[in-house]
Amino acid sequence: DAKTTQPNSMESNEEEPVHLPCNHSTISGTDYIHWYRQLPSQGPEYVIHGLTSNVNNRMASLAIAEDRKSSTLILHRATLRDAAVYYCILRDLNDMRFGAGTRLTVKP
């Protein structure tokens, strides 16, 4: 199984950008890179996904390395509501396998 490696925790100040890294050195050519986040006492929610090119949406940006062995989720201006566990996942055909994720703390 392709696996991802993320830091256990990160801290950010409110209204500053946050870069959440993810390593996935065993990624296959057909794996999509997905990011989900889980706010306290809620189920995970979709953030963004990509295959090869960088992606932007209203929530975040995803920067994918040229060799696809790593990626970075970018929150442009962190808010207190962004405090959550962020999961970087390689999407297989029939399932989505979560790792332990990165717990992001946002300080006012």
Partner 1 sequence: ETGVTQSPTHLIKTRGQQVTLRCSSQSGHNTVSWYQQALGQGPQFIFQYYREEENGRGNFPPRFSGLQFPNYSSELNVNALELDDSALYLCASRLRQGPNTGELFFGEGSRLTVL
Tell me which residues touch partner 1 (CB under 8 A).
30-32, 36, 41-46, 49, 85, 87, 91-101
The answer to whether 80 and 106 have CB atoms below 8 angstroms apart is yes
For the chain, the C-alpha Rg in angstroms (whole number) is 13
Q: Under DSSP, is residue 52 helix (H, G, I), strand (E, B) or coil?
A: coil
DSSP-assigned letter for residue 26: T
Q: Residue written as tokens 């390689």?
A: 90
Q: What minimum distance in Å lies between the beta carbon of 79 and partner 1?
A: 20
The nearer residue to partner 1, 4 or 70, going by C-beta atoms, is 4
Q: What minimum distance in Å lies between the beta carbon of 15 and partner 1?
A: 27
Q: What minimum distance in Å lies between the beta carbon of 43 and partner 1?
A: 3
